[in-house]
Amino acid sequence: MILNFKEIPQANSGDGLQDTFELFTRDFLEDMGFEILQQPDRGADGKKDLIVGETRNGVGGKSILRWLVSCKHYAHSGKSVPDTDEPDIIYRVAAHKCNGFIGVYSTLAATSLGSKLNGYKDKIEHQIYDRERIEKNLLKLPQGIKLARRYFPESIEKYIKENPKPVRIFREEPKINCDYCGKDLLTTKGGIFVVLIKDGENKKDKLGHEYAEEKDVYFACKGKCDSILENMYRHQGLWSRGWEDIDDLMIPTLFLKNIIAYTNQLTQQDVSSKAHEKMKQLYINVFPHIARELTEKEKERVKVLTEFGIW
Protein backbone atom coordinates (compact mmCIF):
# COMPACT_ATOMS: atom_id res chain seq x y z
CA MET A 1 0.00 0.00 0.00
CA ILE A 2 1.21 3.47 -0.91
CA LEU A 3 -1.45 5.43 0.95
CA ASN A 4 -1.51 5.29 4.73
CA PHE A 5 -5.17 5.78 5.62
CA LYS A 6 -4.22 6.57 9.22
CA GLU A 7 -3.23 9.99 7.90
CA ILE A 8 -6.95 10.72 7.88
CA PRO A 9 -7.98 11.40 11.51
CA GLN A 10 -10.14 8.89 13.30
CA ALA A 11 -13.88 9.50 13.33
CA ASN A 12 -15.58 10.76 16.50
CA SER A 13 -12.32 11.93 18.00
CA GLY A 14 -14.14 15.10 19.08
CA ASP A 15 -11.56 17.53 17.73
CA GLY A 16 -13.82 18.82 14.98
CA LEU A 17 -12.11 16.63 12.40
CA GLN A 18 -14.56 13.76 12.69
CA ASP A 19 -15.86 14.34 9.20
CA THR A 20 -12.56 14.14 7.35
CA PHE A 21 -13.08 10.63 5.93
CA GLU A 22 -16.58 11.58 4.83
CA LEU A 23 -15.22 14.67 3.12
CA PHE A 24 -12.53 12.59 1.47
CA THR A 25 -15.19 10.14 0.28
CA ARG A 26 -17.21 12.99 -1.22
CA ASP A 27 -14.17 14.43 -3.04
CA PHE A 28 -13.03 11.00 -4.19
CA LEU A 29 -16.42 10.03 -5.65
CA GLU A 30 -16.70 13.44 -7.29
CA ASP A 31 -13.31 12.89 -8.96
CA MET A 32 -14.56 9.47 -10.05
CA GLY A 33 -17.34 11.19 -11.98
CA PHE A 34 -20.25 10.93 -9.55
CA GLU A 35 -22.43 13.96 -8.89
CA ILE A 36 -22.92 14.91 -5.25
CA LEU A 37 -26.69 15.02 -4.65
CA GLN A 38 -26.58 15.34 -0.88
CA GLN A 39 -23.61 16.48 1.20
CA PRO A 40 -22.46 14.48 4.21
CA ASP A 41 -23.03 17.32 6.72
CA ARG A 42 -24.13 16.57 10.20
CA GLY A 43 -27.46 18.11 11.11
CA ALA A 44 -28.92 18.57 14.61
CA ASP A 45 -30.33 15.06 14.38
CA GLY A 46 -26.93 13.52 13.85
CA LYS A 47 -25.70 11.85 10.71
CA LYS A 48 -26.80 12.96 7.26
CA ASP A 49 -25.96 10.48 4.59
CA LEU A 50 -24.04 11.15 1.44
CA ILE A 51 -25.97 10.52 -1.77
CA VAL A 52 -24.33 10.58 -5.18
CA GLY A 53 -25.71 10.36 -8.69
CA GLU A 54 -24.37 8.53 -11.70
CA THR A 55 -25.52 9.45 -15.18
CA ARG A 56 -25.99 6.44 -17.42
CA ASN A 57 -26.63 6.68 -21.13
CA GLY A 58 -29.02 3.98 -22.21
CA VAL A 59 -31.09 3.20 -25.28
CA GLY A 60 -34.00 5.17 -23.81
CA GLY A 61 -31.82 8.22 -23.13
CA LYS A 62 -30.06 9.48 -20.03
CA SER A 63 -30.95 8.24 -16.59
CA ILE A 64 -29.58 9.20 -13.21
CA LEU A 65 -28.86 6.44 -10.73
CA ARG A 66 -28.94 7.44 -7.07
CA TRP A 67 -26.40 5.78 -4.82
CA LEU A 68 -26.47 5.77 -1.03
CA VAL A 69 -22.92 6.02 0.25
CA SER A 70 -21.73 4.59 3.53
CA CYS A 71 -18.19 5.44 4.71
CA LYS A 72 -16.41 3.55 7.43
CA HIS A 73 -13.01 4.68 8.58
CA TYR A 74 -11.55 1.76 10.52
CA ALA A 75 -7.93 2.28 9.41
CA HIS A 76 -6.83 3.18 12.96
CA SER A 77 -8.07 -0.11 14.42
CA GLY A 78 -7.35 -2.02 11.21
CA LYS A 79 -10.50 -4.15 11.47
CA SER A 80 -12.58 -4.95 8.40
CA VAL A 81 -16.23 -3.88 8.11
CA PRO A 82 -18.58 -6.71 9.24
CA ASP A 83 -22.19 -7.10 8.05
CA THR A 84 -23.44 -6.05 11.50
CA ASP A 85 -21.96 -2.56 10.94
CA GLU A 86 -24.11 -2.12 7.83
CA PRO A 87 -27.61 -2.99 9.06
CA ASP A 88 -30.82 -2.61 7.04
CA ILE A 89 -29.11 -1.84 3.74
CA ILE A 90 -32.20 -2.47 1.61
CA TYR A 91 -34.33 -0.30 3.91
CA ARG A 92 -31.79 2.56 3.98
CA VAL A 93 -31.43 2.54 0.20
CA ALA A 94 -35.21 2.60 -0.26
CA ALA A 95 -35.74 5.31 2.40
CA HIS A 96 -33.38 7.61 0.49
CA LYS A 97 -35.03 6.75 -2.84
CA CYS A 98 -31.73 5.35 -4.07
CA ASN A 99 -31.05 2.57 -6.55
CA GLY A 100 -27.81 1.29 -5.16
CA PHE A 101 -25.36 1.13 -2.28
CA ILE A 102 -21.71 2.22 -2.23
CA GLY A 103 -19.43 1.32 0.65
CA VAL A 104 -16.26 3.38 0.99
CA TYR A 105 -13.99 1.76 3.55
CA SER A 106 -10.47 2.61 4.68
CA THR A 107 -9.95 -1.08 5.47
CA LEU A 108 -11.70 -4.04 3.81
CA ALA A 109 -15.24 -5.41 3.74
CA ALA A 110 -15.45 -8.55 5.88
CA THR A 111 -16.58 -11.73 4.13
CA SER A 112 -19.87 -11.55 6.07
CA LEU A 113 -20.67 -8.18 4.48
CA GLY A 114 -19.63 -9.34 1.02
CA SER A 115 -22.01 -12.34 1.22
CA LYS A 116 -24.84 -10.16 2.53
CA LEU A 117 -24.48 -7.70 -0.38
CA ASN A 118 -24.26 -10.51 -2.92
CA GLY A 119 -27.52 -11.84 -1.50
CA TYR A 120 -29.19 -8.53 -2.43
CA LYS A 121 -27.90 -8.68 -6.00
CA ASP A 122 -31.31 -8.91 -7.67
CA LYS A 123 -32.75 -6.11 -5.50
CA ILE A 124 -30.04 -3.40 -5.53
CA GLU A 125 -26.68 -2.74 -7.16
CA HIS A 126 -23.68 -2.34 -4.90
CA GLN A 127 -20.05 -1.25 -5.14
CA ILE A 128 -17.36 -1.44 -2.51
CA TYR A 129 -14.36 0.88 -2.57
CA ASP A 130 -11.95 -0.61 -0.06
CA ARG A 131 -8.49 0.80 0.66
CA GLU A 132 -6.90 -1.01 -2.29
CA ARG A 133 -9.56 0.01 -4.80
CA ILE A 134 -9.47 3.60 -3.53
CA GLU A 135 -5.68 3.73 -3.89
CA LYS A 136 -5.72 2.18 -7.37
CA ASN A 137 -8.33 4.62 -8.64
CA LEU A 138 -6.82 7.62 -6.91
CA LEU A 139 -3.33 7.15 -8.32
CA LYS A 140 -4.67 6.57 -11.82
CA LEU A 141 -7.06 9.55 -11.93
CA PRO A 142 -5.67 12.74 -13.48
CA GLN A 143 -6.86 14.74 -10.45
CA GLY A 144 -6.11 11.85 -8.11
CA ILE A 145 -2.58 12.79 -7.06
CA LYS A 146 -3.80 16.29 -6.25
CA LEU A 147 -6.61 14.92 -4.11
CA ALA A 148 -4.32 12.36 -2.48
CA ARG A 149 -1.84 15.11 -1.69
CA ARG A 150 -4.55 16.89 0.31
CA TYR A 151 -5.67 13.91 2.40
CA PHE A 152 -2.47 11.80 2.41
CA PRO A 153 0.33 14.42 2.28
CA GLU A 154 3.04 12.23 3.84
CA SER A 155 2.23 9.14 1.76
CA ILE A 156 2.22 11.13 -1.47
CA GLU A 157 5.44 12.97 -0.74
CA LYS A 158 7.14 9.63 -0.13
CA TYR A 159 5.52 8.08 -3.23
CA ILE A 160 6.63 10.91 -5.54
CA LYS A 161 10.14 10.86 -4.12
CA GLU A 162 10.41 7.10 -4.65
CA ASN A 163 8.85 7.21 -8.15
CA PRO A 164 10.67 10.10 -9.78
CA LYS A 165 9.50 11.55 -13.06
CA PRO A 166 11.72 13.70 -15.27
CA VAL A 167 11.38 17.41 -14.51
CA ARG A 168 10.01 19.62 -17.28
CA ILE A 169 12.99 21.55 -18.61
CA PHE A 170 12.76 21.07 -22.36
CA ARG A 171 9.79 21.40 -24.65
CA GLU A 172 10.32 17.86 -25.92
CA GLU A 173 10.40 14.74 -23.74
CA PRO A 174 14.02 13.77 -23.10
CA LYS A 175 14.97 10.67 -25.09
CA ILE A 176 17.99 8.49 -25.77
CA ASN A 177 17.18 6.04 -28.53
CA CYS A 178 18.86 2.69 -29.10
CA ASP A 179 21.01 3.22 -32.21
CA TYR A 180 19.78 -0.10 -33.57
CA CYS A 181 16.06 -0.55 -32.73
CA GLY A 182 15.17 3.03 -31.78
CA LYS A 183 13.63 2.16 -28.39
CA ASP A 184 13.86 4.94 -25.78
CA LEU A 185 16.42 3.88 -23.20
CA LEU A 186 15.40 6.47 -20.60
CA THR A 187 11.93 5.01 -20.14
CA THR A 188 12.82 1.32 -20.56
CA LYS A 189 15.40 -0.39 -18.37
CA GLY A 190 18.54 -2.06 -19.63
CA GLY A 191 20.17 0.52 -21.89
CA ILE A 192 23.92 1.06 -22.16
CA PHE A 193 26.29 3.48 -23.82
CA VAL A 194 29.42 2.08 -25.39
CA VAL A 195 32.65 4.02 -26.02
CA LEU A 196 34.49 3.09 -29.24
CA ILE A 197 38.18 3.44 -30.02
CA LYS A 198 40.22 2.84 -33.16
CA ASP A 199 42.59 -0.06 -32.94
CA GLY A 200 46.32 0.67 -33.27
CA GLU A 201 45.93 4.45 -33.37
CA ASN A 202 47.27 5.49 -30.00
CA LYS A 203 47.98 9.08 -29.04
CA LYS A 204 50.00 10.57 -26.19
CA ASP A 205 48.20 12.57 -23.49
CA LYS A 206 49.50 15.72 -21.83
CA LEU A 207 51.48 13.65 -19.33
CA GLY A 208 53.04 11.58 -22.09
CA HIS A 209 50.94 8.44 -21.45
CA GLU A 210 49.61 6.54 -24.46
CA TYR A 211 45.86 6.37 -24.90
CA ALA A 212 43.33 5.44 -27.54
CA GLU A 213 41.19 8.38 -28.63
CA GLU A 214 37.42 8.00 -28.20
CA LYS A 215 36.16 7.92 -31.77
CA ASP A 216 32.47 7.32 -31.34
CA VAL A 217 29.78 6.33 -28.85
CA TYR A 218 26.67 4.26 -29.40
CA PHE A 219 23.50 3.73 -27.36
CA ALA A 220 21.98 0.26 -27.27
CA CYS A 221 19.67 -2.16 -25.55
CA LYS A 222 21.74 -4.79 -23.74
CA GLY A 223 21.98 -8.08 -25.61
CA LYS A 224 20.95 -8.39 -29.27
CA CYS A 225 21.05 -4.68 -30.28
CA ASP A 226 24.41 -4.25 -28.57
CA SER A 227 25.98 -7.28 -30.36
CA ILE A 228 24.70 -6.14 -33.75
CA LEU A 229 26.07 -2.62 -33.27
CA GLU A 230 29.37 -3.88 -31.88
CA ASN A 231 29.81 -6.06 -34.97
CA MET A 232 28.87 -3.23 -37.30
CA TYR A 233 31.46 -0.91 -35.79
CA ARG A 234 34.10 -3.62 -35.75
CA HIS A 235 33.83 -3.70 -39.55
CA GLN A 236 34.77 -0.01 -39.48
CA GLY A 237 37.81 -0.81 -37.31
CA LEU A 238 36.20 0.56 -34.14
CA TRP A 239 36.38 -1.43 -30.92
CA SER A 240 34.44 -1.08 -27.73
CA ARG A 241 36.63 0.27 -24.93
CA GLY A 242 34.01 0.13 -22.23
CA TRP A 243 30.35 0.49 -21.45
CA GLU A 244 28.15 1.88 -18.71
CA ASP A 245 24.53 1.32 -17.72
CA ILE A 246 22.29 4.24 -18.67
CA ASP A 247 20.11 3.29 -15.68
CA ASP A 248 23.08 4.04 -13.42
CA LEU A 249 23.71 7.35 -15.18
CA MET A 250 20.13 8.30 -14.25
CA ILE A 251 21.06 8.19 -10.54
CA PRO A 252 21.89 11.78 -9.51
CA THR A 253 25.23 11.15 -7.77
CA LEU A 254 26.45 8.71 -10.44
CA PHE A 255 25.53 11.19 -13.17
CA LEU A 256 27.65 13.83 -11.45
CA LYS A 257 30.52 11.42 -10.96
CA ASN A 258 30.41 10.42 -14.63
CA ILE A 259 30.28 13.95 -15.99
CA ILE A 260 33.21 15.00 -13.76
CA ALA A 261 35.28 12.02 -14.93
CA TYR A 262 34.48 12.91 -18.54
CA THR A 263 35.45 16.58 -18.15
CA ASN A 264 38.66 15.51 -16.40
CA GLN A 265 39.43 13.27 -19.35
CA LEU A 266 38.83 16.16 -21.75
CA THR A 267 41.60 18.20 -20.12
CA GLN A 268 44.08 15.35 -20.72
CA GLN A 269 43.04 13.65 -23.93
CA ASP A 270 41.40 14.28 -27.28
CA VAL A 271 37.90 13.00 -27.92
CA SER A 272 36.57 13.01 -31.47
CA SER A 273 33.81 15.54 -32.09
CA LYS A 274 31.48 12.67 -33.04
CA ALA A 275 31.99 10.96 -29.68
CA HIS A 276 31.72 14.30 -27.87
CA GLU A 277 28.38 15.11 -29.52
CA LYS A 278 26.99 11.75 -28.39
CA MET A 279 28.17 12.33 -24.82
CA LYS A 280 26.56 15.79 -24.81
CA GLN A 281 23.31 14.32 -26.15
CA LEU A 282 23.42 11.75 -23.35
CA TYR A 283 24.07 14.25 -20.53
CA ILE A 284 21.46 16.73 -21.77
CA ASN A 285 18.72 14.13 -22.04
CA VAL A 286 19.51 12.40 -18.77
CA PHE A 287 19.60 15.72 -16.88
CA PRO A 288 15.78 16.08 -16.39
CA HIS A 289 15.86 12.67 -14.70
CA ILE A 290 18.57 13.54 -12.19
CA ALA A 291 17.55 17.06 -11.12
CA ARG A 292 16.06 15.64 -7.88
CA GLU A 293 16.78 13.74 -4.64
CA LEU A 294 17.88 10.09 -4.60
CA THR A 295 15.32 7.34 -3.97
CA GLU A 296 16.05 4.80 -1.21
CA LYS A 297 16.75 2.15 -3.87
CA GLU A 298 19.25 4.46 -5.59
CA LYS A 299 21.04 5.17 -2.31
CA GLU A 300 21.53 1.40 -1.96
CA ARG A 301 22.78 1.08 -5.58
CA VAL A 302 25.28 3.92 -5.09
CA LYS A 303 26.50 2.28 -1.88
CA VAL A 304 27.04 -1.08 -3.61
CA LEU A 305 28.79 0.42 -6.65
CA THR A 306 31.09 2.65 -4.64
CA GLU A 307 31.93 -0.18 -2.22
CA PHE A 308 33.07 -2.31 -5.14
CA GLY A 309 34.93 0.62 -6.66
CA ILE A 310 32.92 0.41 -9.88
CA TRP A 311 31.93 4.08 -9.86
Site residues for Zn ion per CB under 5 A: 178, 180-181, 183, 221, 225
CA distances from residue 34 to 49, 67, 72, 83 in whole angstroms, order as listed: 15, 9, 19, 25
Bridge partner list, 197? 214, 239
CB 234, min distance to Zn ion, A: 18
Strand, helix or coil for residue 219 = strand
Least distance in angstroms from the C-beta of 190 to Zn ion: 9
CB of 162 to Zn ion, least distance (A): 28
Given the complex with Zn ion, which of 69 and 220 has the nearer CB atom?
220
Rounded Cα–Cα distance for residues 61 and 63 (Å):
7
Specify the amino acid at residue 260.
I
Nearer to Zn ion, 131 or 278 (CB): 278
Nearer to Zn ion, 68 or 286 (CB): 286
**Minimum distance between the CB of residue 164 and Zn ion, rounded to whole angstroms?**
24
**14 Cβ neighbours under 8 A, 6+ residues apart:** none
Sign, CA torsion 26/27/32/37: positive
- If the CB atoms of residues 178 and 217 are measured against Zn ion, the closer one turns out to be 178
Closest CB to Zn ion among 86 and 248? 248
Q: Contact 81/105 with Cβ under 8 angstroms?
A: yes
Contact 147, 138 (CB under 8 A): yes
In the complex with Zn ion, the residue whose CB is nearer, 245 or 298, is 245
Min. distance of Cβ 194 from Zn ion in angstroms?
12
Q: Strands of 106-190 (E only): list them.
A: 125-129
Q: How far apart are the first and last CA of the chain?
A: 34
Q: To the nearest whole angstrom, how small is the minimum distance from the Cβ of residue 249 to Zn ion?
A: 17
